[in-house]
């Protein structure tokens, strides 16, 4: 089955507006890094135009520091997570998550994530109520992500599998949302076929190794539309329908 070439349009990036940091309460919350999470949301997300209240609430709640072993976990930059993979800066994660929001919202949405990494993105989705199938090609990363997700209460809503993410996971299709956290020259055909026909949304960095556009694909029956959101650079999407290994 081959899809026809679908029309592309370019979307403007969210308009950045200055947003005052959230007022500090007199008593510091007991949760570790709570102040850092609030600061991250105010200065990196809201100030750059991220407005989705569910996404903002999830970022204030999920402990990013628990999913990385690097200093400055809430800084405005990507971080290594092992096996040559990275976790994107908070704004990019929030932008992808906002764009991938299913038409019916995140609660009980069937979501496919390609590239589990540390498990942070899956934790955000689970925090918003999604049921997540996450595919990671590195077994060591998958094992560690399972441990972290279970430790922080997200294990029941996230299933981490080891495999070639470019082939998707047909057994649980169709998916209302597909998030691909690695870049490739085009969207893998199997992922398009597994996308829900009633407004399913897929977000993926599309381009070469050095120049990519975060791209949103929406499906209605057999019609696909593609919107370029903004330039990004991600690690390559290795697999049968992605970038050859080596």
Question: What integer best gives the mean pLDDT of the chain?
Answer: 90
Check whether 24 has a pLDDT greater than 90.
no
Per-residue confidence band for 32, with pLDDT thresholds at 50, 70 and 90: confident
Domain span at 81: 32-232
Per-residue confidence band for 113, with pLDDT thresholds at 50, 70 and 90: very high
Per-residue confidence band for 10, with pLDDT thresholds at 50, 70 and 90: low
Of the candidates 88, 98, 177, 226, the residue annotated as catalytic is: 88
91 inside domain: yes
Q: Rounded mean pLDDT of 107-116? A: 98
pLDDT, tens digit, for every residue of 81-102? 998 899 999 999 999 999 999 9
Of 13-22, 167-176, 197-206, 215-224, the poorest mean pLDDT is in 13-22
To the question of pTM greater than 0.75 for the whole model, the response is yes
pLDDT, tens digit, for every residue of 150-202? 999 999 999 999 999 999 999 999 999 999 999 999 999 999 999 999 999 99
Question: Between 18 and 72, whose confidence is greater?
Answer: 72
2 inside domain: no
What pLDDT does residue 13 have?
52
Token couple for 173: 């299709």
- With a CB cutoff of 8 Å and minimum separation 6, the contacts of 157 are 126, 129, 130, 131, 132
């085009």: which residue's tokens? 186
10 inside domain: no
Task: Provide the domain count of the chain.
Answer: 1
CATH of the domain at 136: 3.40.50.150
Q: CA 218 to CA 26: how far, in whole Å? A: 45
Cα Rg of the chain (Å, integer): 17
Residue 134 bridge partners (DSSP): 113, 160
149 inside domain: yes
217 inside domain: yes
21 inside domain: no
Check whether 1 has a pLDDT greater than 60.
no
């496919």: which residue's tokens? 112
**98 annotated active-site:** no
pLDDT, tens digit, for every residue of 121-134? 999 999 999 999 99
50 inside domain: yes
Check whether 21 has a pLDDT greater than 80.
no
What pLDDT does residue 28 have?
47
Share of the chain above pLDDT 70, in %: 87
Check whether 14 has a pLDDT greater than 70.
no
What pLDDT does residue 12 have?
56
What pLDDT does residue 11 have?
61
89 inside domain: yes
Using the Cα atoms of residue 171, residue 173, residue 178 and residue 180 in order, give the sign of their dihedral: positive
What pLDDT does residue 133 have?
98
Residues 66 and 152: beta-carbon distance below 8 Å:
yes
What pLDDT does residue 31 have?
74
């Amino acid at each position: 089955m081959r899809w026809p070439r679908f029309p592309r349009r370019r979307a403007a990036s969210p308009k950045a507006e200055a947003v005052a940091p959230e007022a500090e309460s007199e008593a510091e919350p007991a949760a570790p890094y709570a102040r850092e999470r609030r600061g991250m949301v105010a200065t990196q997300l809201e100030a750059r135009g991220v407005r989705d209240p569910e996404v903002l609430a999830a970022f204030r709640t999920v402990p990013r520091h628990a999913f990385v072993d690097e200093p400055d976990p809430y800084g405005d930059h990507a971080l290594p997570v092992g096996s040559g993979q990275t976790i994107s800066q908070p704004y990019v994660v929030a932008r992808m998550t906002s764009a991938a929001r299913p038409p019916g919202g995140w609660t009980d949405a069937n979501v496919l994530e390609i590239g589990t990494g540390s498990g942070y993105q899956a934790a955000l989705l689970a925090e918003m109520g999604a049921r997540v199938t996450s595919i990671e090609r590195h077994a060591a990363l998958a094992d560690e992500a399972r441990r972290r997700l279970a430790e922080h209460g997200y294990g029941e809503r996230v299933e981490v599998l080891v495999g070639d993410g470019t082939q998707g996971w047909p057994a649980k299709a169709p998916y209302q949302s597909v998030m691909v956290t690695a870049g490739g020259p085009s969207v893998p055909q199997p992922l398009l076929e597994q996308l829900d026909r009633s407004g399913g949304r897929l977000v993926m960095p599309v381009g070469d190794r050095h120049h990519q556009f975060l791209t949103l694909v929406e499906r209605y029956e057999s019609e696909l539309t593609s919107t370029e959101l903004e330039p990004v650079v991600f690690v390559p999407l290795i697999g049968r329908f992605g970038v050859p290994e080596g």
